[in-house]
Amino acid sequence: EIASCLVGSEMCIRDRYSYSQHLDIARVISMSEVPNVCEVVPARMTYEDSKGQKHILEYRVMGNGCSNG
């Protein structure tokens, strides 16, 4: 799912990551913090592609609160 968005006064592209997606990441601008929980949580990365277009990528990640012991 891809949609337009604004970052400050600049247009950007917001999309949800899928494993088959090719990402053109030239520069990471920011990443959301991963909470200290033991479950899958939403995350977000703002980046610029090789053409200078800003993107906000939404994806899911395992929290940092799991222990192996």
Convert the pLDDT of each residue in 9-43 to its tens digit: 667 787 888 888 889 999 999 999 999 999 999 99
The model's pTM is 0.75
Look at the alpha carbons of 18, 19, 25, 29 in this order and tell me if their dihedral is positive or negative.
Answer: positive
Place of tokens 């980046």: 47
